[in-house]
């Protein structure tokens, strides 16, 4: 069964395949006690209570994206319970932001500790009056999970992390250009009025179909859907093509390698083009797997070359791990699968990390204070939650669990793809961070709707992909339920 | 004593003056039990422990803005205790973000409630799967404190609130222009590539010395200090002059009215200039009192006229109450002092509110979903804290307390200004949101340093202002300690 081809398709190393088997033999003990045996659907979703609540909320704000109202007292582990008591197996986990599922007992205990509670309630301006345990806490995070980067800046969410990381990039880029001299009076006075040379024309290169956030700077690097961007002014920054692979990978190797080459040469061209245009590229931002844009992968070789091109052009490489980070790809950071020559200059995070922020090289740290700064600079209350998440991941060997469950899920999806080849194709991903394409977007939406009617909360991405974003505690028995329901749906559609 | 001139300088209405006297007679009962009797300074600040911690943290990040490390277990009420056991009377409250001081007993109880704890731990994607009590909670906030605006959008911080509010403005502005028709194919395809017409050239007008945040969009409306902006690319958006008043107001009425007129006519000119430039102004953002930029006030008449000009130009008015909101000016929102003809189109908040977000008109609400959206859309854990803050404000009549203490503080500052007229001038502000100028910036910094050595944590703003930002529980006896120490400092400098 573990042929080289299958291993290659599943992207498992030999040692990872061993972990899979060890888990297989050991059998899965439940990560969270008290989960139901499976999903239970009692009403349409949204049900009558959710509909009533939707109407109430609709008088206060735009509610078109709301799928249901949840009961977070009753939700448990991998199961989301809604206001109408429907019990859904959650493979989407609040847009991939719940590392340990619902009501994890260890998380419920975090603030029983009075010191932790006081850290939560007395929220400080961390850049001015941090608590005395803050250096130790940050040091702990760095030593446990930093992707070999020595510095950390904490923030509140993914958009803010990318926005501020851009600033670190611009600051470092200009320092390199200016040399070790003070700002000129002209720079000082012009920047306050939004004008060059103080506010220089510089850009961040991004990729088509990328998603890096919704605030005006990060939105200028987001290109996944028009509805995210229409009517909003944007910086004129360069946008390169991201590889679009054909699957299965092993049958399309030559073509996919051509994709890599074409896209990389476009990156080089854009460096030149924007230099000539007077808006030089200070950095590149890229997701290790384009998530919102359709779970588009690129090869380790692509990323290795991309880093080389950035270095050659004196630009910095920012890897956006907001959605891919936190263990869901089987490694803590997805880019750790790529064997980069050196760590990226910046790695941003949020979502499963609870806290936003980024790891970075010392070169990225501004020499002067107050340049990357805001009132809160993160939130100790979220960092304390993250510390517990990390402890549970370690104690319960959840990265092994991700690899094990992910392998099962991927095998299952490949089998479904074979059985329903006129409905599904292009199974891909790492760990439990997986996706499969429907033949068109209407069919994809139908699949998501029918899955929900069978008690599976799932999500889409891109125009026609079904994406899996379960919690790290998603186990073999959950995978089997999901695959079983998915098969039923495909049979019904068939 | 309560001459019309004094009342006018203190900006008290007759009924407010009554509240002052009622409090005066009633005498102040302590808001938070267990506070020390006054500040105690044992070491230099930062002391040896803070210095040691600074060194540790300095290896992980830029730490040039850090003043001290705090002990948040020991801090209580208006008193911040640092790592070296210095006890400081806090008139700065984490850059104006702590409404009830440290370790308020009601806040420490919030998460004893298991339901609240589950809301905190199971943090949802509020735009997709809100908890079933979310509409009721939001409704409660709206009905209690909305400045007569019917809609609310929740966010995480001040910068994000302003950034997203800009998007609401751009969306509404373009809808008005486009009319009730669908987006064109050209708009859809161009916006994804950052280009007009889909990503139109539009602007937000702001004011010199304004501060609205640090992400790239909000930073394009921030003009307080060069170090916030240098090396960071910016949108070319119009910047008008904000009135710079002479004090005392009653002696400089004519000149200050001239200021208003001059600034307003510049606003009108900029509408025209940027229309011609092909970057029309969709909205104006303004602080009710420019805070970071130097506690610069403008008259109610200025704001009334500004709103009229915005309306005349089909643009929207965004009042940024991130620092002024939450009760510190004696009304819940500072702009409520201005008697505007209609509520502003958007009012943004954060800081003391714990949660970020904005109130807005229905016109500001996008017609299509997913346009103003992100993963979390705020944080129920923070809203629950806010609910308790609001309850305490009401029960303990803290707005009355602000007015009472603020009046005392202002009288005290005016007296000091008279006594040390060659050191201080231009006492100003509302409620406890007060400032006074030192004659130059070196003197201002000396004052802040000497105040700290006497156990007063204070803050500066602009180039030479001392700003007061105490918590809402700052009372008469705290004001007296502050004024007493301030007097000692001025005498020493004298």
Query: Is some CB atom of chain A closer than 8 A to the CB atom of B97?
Result: yes
Residue A7 has pLDDT above 70, yes or no: no
Taking residues B322-341, report their average pLDDT: 98
Residue B7 has pLDDT above 70, yes or no: no
Of these residues, A211, A242, A271, A332, which one is catalytic?
A211
Give the per-residue pLDDT at B8: 62
Residue B282: helix, strand or coil by DSSP?
strand
* B197 to chain A, closest Cα gap in Å: 8
Residue to test with chain B: of A69, A375, A381, A469, most B Cβ within 10 A: A375
Taking residues B287-310, report their average pLDDT: 98
From the list A163, A183, A231, which residue is nearest B215 (CB)? Answer: A163
**Cβ contact B373–A61 (<8 Å):** no
From the list B157, B195, B217, which residue is nearest A217 (CB)? Answer: B217
Q: Please state whether beta strands B151-155 and B356-360 pair in parallel, antiparallel, or not at all (unpaired).
A: antiparallel
The tokens for A17 are 């395949």
Give the per-residue pLDDT at A1: 44
Q: Which residues have C-beta within 8 Å of that of residue A292, sequence separation ≥ 6? A: A211, A224, A225, A323, A461, A462
Confidence class for position A9, pLDDT limits 50, 70, 90: low
Q: Please state whether beta strands A459-461 and A456-457 pair in parallel, antiparallel, or not at all (unpaired).
A: unpaired
From the list B103, B127, B194, which residue is nearest A235 (CB)? Answer: B194
Taking residues A263-269, report their average pLDDT: 98
B229 contacts in chain A (CB < 8 Å): 191-192, 194, 198-199
pLDDT, tens digit, 9 for 90 and up, residues B370-386: 999 999 999 999 999 99
The 10 Å Cβ neighbour count of residue A48 is: 11
A187: nearest CA partner in chain B: B230
Query: Is some CB atom of chain A closer than 8 A to the CB atom of B66?
Result: yes
User: Distance between CA atoms of A96 and A461, rounded to whole angstroms?
Assistant: 12
User: Distance between CA atoms of B167 and B160, rounded to whole angstroms?
Assistant: 11
Taking residues A294-298, report their average pLDDT: 98
Query: Is some CB atom of chain A closer than 8 A to the CB atom of B74?
Result: no
Give the per-residue pLDDT at A24: 62
**Cβ contact B369–A64 (<8 Å):** yes
B177 contacts in chain A (CB < 8 Å): none
Residue B17 has pLDDT above 80, yes or no: no
* Beta bridge partner(s), residue B457: B90
Cis peptide before A197 (omega within 30 of 0): yes
User: Distance between CA atoms of A490 and A487, rounded to whole angstroms?
Assistant: 5
Q: How many residues does chain A have?
A: 494
The tokens for B379 are 């944080």
Query: Is some CB atom of chain B closer than 8 A to the CB atom of A103?
Result: yes
Helical (H) or strand (E) element with B89: strand B87-90
Q: Order of strands, edge to edge, in the sheet holding B316-320?
A: B151-155, B356-360, B346-349, B316-320, B281-286, B203-207, B239-240
* B453 to chain A, closest Cα gap in Å: 16
User: Residue A156 half-sphere exposure, CB side, CA atoms within 13 Å?
Assistant: 28
Tell me the domains of chain A and their CATH numbers: 29-49+70-103+406-493 (3.90.1150.10), 123-393 (3.40.640.10)
The tokens for A112 are 């029983």
The tokens for A254 are 């030559």
Q: Order of strands, edge to edge, in the sheet holding A316-320?
A: A151-155, A356-360, A346-349, A316-320, A281-286, A203-207, A239-240
Active site residue A24: no
Taking residues B392-408, report their average pLDDT: 97
A152 contacts in chain B (CB < 8 Å): 60-61
In A, residues 307-326, which contact B (CB 8 Å cutoff)? none
CB B247 within 8 Å of CB B434? no
First to last CA, chain B: 29
* A24 to chain B, closest Cα gap in Å: 30
Residue B343 has pLDDT above 50, yes or no: yes
CA torsion A123-B103-B287-A366 (nearest 10°) is -30
Query: Is some CB atom of chain B closer than 8 A to the CB atom of A230?
Result: yes
B192 contacts in chain A (CB < 8 Å): 208, 223, 225-226, 229
| Chain A / chain B CB contacts < 8 angstroms | 397
**Cβ contact A183–B226 (<8 Å):** yes
Residue B122 has pLDDT above 60, yes or no: yes
Q: Which residues have C-beta within 8 Å of that of residue B4, sequence separation ≥ 6? A: none
Taking CA B191 as the corner, what is the angle to CA B188 and CA B193, rounded to the nearest 5 degrees?
120
Confidence class for position A5, pLDDT limits 50, 70, 90: low
**Cβ contact B95–A128 (<8 Å):** yes
A142 contacts in chain B (CB < 8 Å): 60
User: Distance between CA atoms of A348 and A295, rounded to whole angstroms?
Assistant: 18
The tokens for A185 are 């009076």
Q: Give the largest Cα separation in chain A, rounded.
A: 71
Give the per-residue pLDDT at B163: 98
Query: Is some CB atom of chain A closer than 8 A to the CB atom of B182?
Result: no
Q: Please state whether beta strands A87-90 and A456-457 pair in parallel, antiparallel, or not at all (unpaired).
A: parallel
* A289 to chain B, closest Cα gap in Å: 18
Residue B10 has pLDDT above 80, yes or no: no
The 10 Å Cβ neighbour count of residue B425 is: 17
Percent of chain B past pLDDT 70, that is, above it, reads 94
User: Distance between CA atoms of B174 and B266, rounded to whole angstroms?
Assistant: 24
Give the residue carrying structure tokens 């209407």.
A442
Mean pLDDT of chain B: 95
Give the per-residue pLDDT at A19: 67
B320 contacts in chain A (CB < 8 Å): none
User: Distance between CA atoms of B463 and B440, rounded to whole angstroms?
Assistant: 8
Query: Is some CB atom of chain B closer than 8 A to the CB atom of A231?
Result: yes
B135 contacts in chain A (CB < 8 Å): 53, 56-57, 60
User: Distance between CA atoms of B76 and B32, rounded to whole angstroms?
Assistant: 8
B119 contacts in chain A (CB < 8 Å): 72
* Beta bridge partner(s), residue A430: A433
Query: Is some CB atom of chain A closer than 8 A to the CB atom of B277?
Result: no
Give the per-residue pLDDT at B180: 85
Residue B190 has pLDDT above 60, yes or no: yes
**Cβ contact B191–A226 (<8 Å):** yes
Active site residues of B: 211, 320, 351, 375
The 10 Å Cβ neighbour count of residue B255 is: 10
CB B427 within 8 Å of CB B11? no
The 10 Å Cβ neighbour count of residue B15 is: 8
Q: Which of B394, B326, B355 is nearest to B106 (CA)?
A: B394
Burial of A281 (0-12, 13-18, 19+ CB in 10 A): buried
Query: Is some CB atom of chain B closer than 8 A to the CB atom of A259?
Result: no
In Å, how far are A145, A365, A430, B384 from A12, measured between CA atoms? 22, 36, 9, 45
Q: Which residues have C-beta within 8 Å of that of residue A47, sequence separation ≥ 6? A: A68, A82, A83, A84, A86
* B337 to chain A, closest Cα gap in Å: 25
Helical (H) or strand (E) element with B275: helix B253-276
> Of A10-14, A84-88, A347-351, B97-101, which gets the smallest average pLDDT?
A10-14
CB A297 within 8 Å of CB A245? yes
First to last CA, chain A: 29
Cis peptide before B48 (omega within 30 of 0): no
Helical (H) or strand (E) element with B409: helix B398-419
Packing angle of the helix pair A398-419, A476-493 (nearest 10 deg): 20
From the list A107, A121, A124, which residue is nearest B107 (CB)? Answer: A121
CB B221 within 8 Å of CB B162? yes
Give the residue carrying structure tokens 């091109």.
A309
Looking at residue B132, the DSSP 8-state letter turns out to be: T
Q: Which of B403, B396, B386 is nearest to B337 (CA)?
A: B403
Residue A360 has pLDDT above 60, yes or no: yes
User: Distance between CA atoms of A184 and A193, rounded to whole angstroms?
Assistant: 15
pLDDT, tens digit, 9 for 90 and up, residues A346-357: 999 999 999 999
CB B361 within 8 Å of CB B345? yes
Q: Which residues have C-beta within 8 Å of that of residue A261, sequence separation ≥ 6? A: none
Q: Alpha-carbon Rg of chain B, whole angstroms?
A: 23
Active site residue A251: no
User: Distance between CA atoms of A47 and A304, rounded to whole angstroms?
Assistant: 49
* A273 to chain B, closest Cα gap in Å: 16
The tokens for B130 are 């809100």
Q: Which of B196, B146, B208 is nearest to B348 (CA)?
A: B146
Query: Is some CB atom of chain A closer than 8 A to the CB atom of B118?
Result: yes
Confidence class for position B162, pLDDT limits 50, 70, 90: very high
Residue A389 has pLDDT above 60, yes or no: yes
* Beta bridge partner(s), residue B87: B40, B81
Residue B14 has pLDDT above 80, yes or no: no
Provide ipTM, 2 decimals. 0.96
B239 contacts in chain A (CB < 8 Å): 193-194
User: Distance between CA atoms of B35 and B470, rounded to whole angstroms?
Assistant: 15
A375: nearest CA partner in chain B: B95
Residue B27 has pLDDT above 80, yes or no: no
The 3 state secondary structure assigned to chain A is CCCHHHHHHHCCCHHHHHHHHHHHHHCCCCCCCCCCCCCECCCCCCCHHHHHHHHHHHCCCCCCCCCCCECCCCCEECEEEECCCCEEEECCHHHHCCCCCECCHHHHHHHHCHHHHHHHHCCCCCCCCCECCHHHHHHHHHHHHCCCCCEEEEECCHHHHHHHHHHHHHHHHHHHHHCCCCCCHHHHHHHHCCCCCCCCCCEEEEECCCCCCCCHHHHCCCCCCHHHCCCCCCCCCCEECCCCCCCCHHHCHHHHHHHHHHHHHHHHHHHHHHHHCCCCEEEEEECCEECCCCCEECCHHHHHHHHHHHHHCCCEEEEECCCCCCCCCCCCCHHHHHCCCCCCCEEEECHHHCCEEEEECHHHCCCCCCCCCCCCCCCHHHHHHHHHHHHHHHHCCHHHHHHHHHHHHHHHHHHHHHHCCCCEEEEEEECCEEEEEECCHHHHHHHHHHHHHCCEECEEECCCEEEECCCCCCCHHHHHHHHHHHHHHHHHHC
Give the per-residue pLDDT at B79: 98
Long-range pairs, A411-415, Cβ under 8 A, ≥24: A411/A10, A412/A479, A412/A483, A412/A486, A413/A483, A414/A9
Give the per-residue pLDDT at B1: 44
Confidence class for position A22, pLDDT limits 50, 70, 90: low
A386: nearest CA partner in chain B: B121
B146: nearest CA partner in chain A: A60
pLDDT, tens digit, 9 for 90 and up, residues A141-160: 999 999 999 999 999 999 99
Residue B323: helix, strand or coil by DSSP?
coil
Residue B261 has pLDDT above 50, yes or no: yes
Mean pLDDT of chain A: 95
Give the per-residue pLDDT at A29: 75
């Amino acid at each position: 069964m573990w042929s080289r081809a299958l291993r290659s398709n599943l992207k498992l190393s030999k040692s990872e395949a061993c972990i899979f088997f060890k888990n297989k033999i050991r059998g899965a003990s439940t990560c969270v006690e008290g989960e139901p045996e499976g999903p239970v659907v009692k009403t349409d979703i949204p049900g009558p209570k959710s509909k009533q609540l939707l109407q109430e909320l609709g008088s206060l704000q735009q509610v078109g994206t709301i799928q249901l109202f949840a009961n977070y007292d009753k939700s448990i582990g991998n199961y989301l319970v809604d206001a109408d008591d429907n019990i859904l197996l959650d493979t989407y986990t609040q847009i991939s932001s719940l590392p340990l599922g619902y009501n994890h007992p260890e998380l419920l205990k975090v603030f029983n500790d009075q010191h932790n509670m006081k850290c939560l309630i007395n929220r400080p301006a961390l850049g001015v009056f941090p608590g005395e345990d803050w250096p130790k806490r940050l040091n702990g995070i760095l030593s446990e999970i930093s992707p070999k980067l020595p510095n950390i800046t904490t923030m509140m969410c993914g958009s803010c992390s990318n926005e501020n990381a851009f600033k670190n990039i611009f600051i470092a880029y200009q320092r390199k250009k200016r040399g070790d001299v003070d700002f000129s009076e002209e720079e000082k006075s012009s920047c306050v009025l939004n004008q060059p040379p103080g506010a220089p024309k510089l850009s961040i290169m991004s990729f088509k179909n990328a998603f890096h956030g919704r605030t005006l700077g990060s939105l200028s690097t987001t290109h996944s859907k028009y509805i995210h961007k229409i009517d909003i002014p944007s910086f004129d920054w360069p946008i390169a093509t991201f590889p679009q692979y054909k699957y299965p990978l092993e049958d399309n190797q030559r073509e996919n390698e051509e994709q890599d080459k074409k896209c990389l040469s476009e990156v080089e061209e854009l460096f030149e083009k924007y230099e000539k245009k007077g808006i030089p590229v200070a950095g590149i931002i890229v997701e290790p797997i384009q998530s919102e844009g359709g779970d588009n992968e690129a090869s380790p070789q692509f990323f290795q070359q991309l880093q080389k091109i950035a270095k050659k052009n004196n630009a910095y490489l920012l890897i956006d791990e907001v959605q891919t980070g936190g263990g869901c790809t089987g490694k803590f950071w997805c880019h750790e699968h790529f064997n980069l020559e050196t760590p990226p200059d910046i790695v941003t995070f949020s979502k499963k990390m609870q806290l936003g922020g980024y790891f970075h090289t010392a070169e990225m740290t501004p020499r002067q204070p107050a340049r990357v700064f805001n009132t809160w600079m993160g939130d100790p209350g979220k960092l304390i939650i993250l510390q517990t998440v990390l402890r549970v991941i370690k104690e319960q060997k959840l990265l092994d669990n991700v690899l094990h469950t992910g392998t099962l899920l991927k095998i299952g999806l490949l089998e479904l793809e074979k059985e329903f080849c006129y409905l599904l194709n292009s199974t891909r991903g790492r760990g439990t961070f997986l996706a499969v394409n429907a033949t068109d977007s209407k069919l994809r939406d139908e699949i998501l709707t029918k899955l929900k009617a069978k008690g599976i909360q799932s999500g889409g991405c891109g125009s026609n992909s079904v994406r899996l974003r379960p919690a790290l505690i998603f186990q073999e028995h959950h995978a089997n339920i999901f695959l079983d329901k998915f098969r039923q749906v495909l049979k019904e559609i068939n």
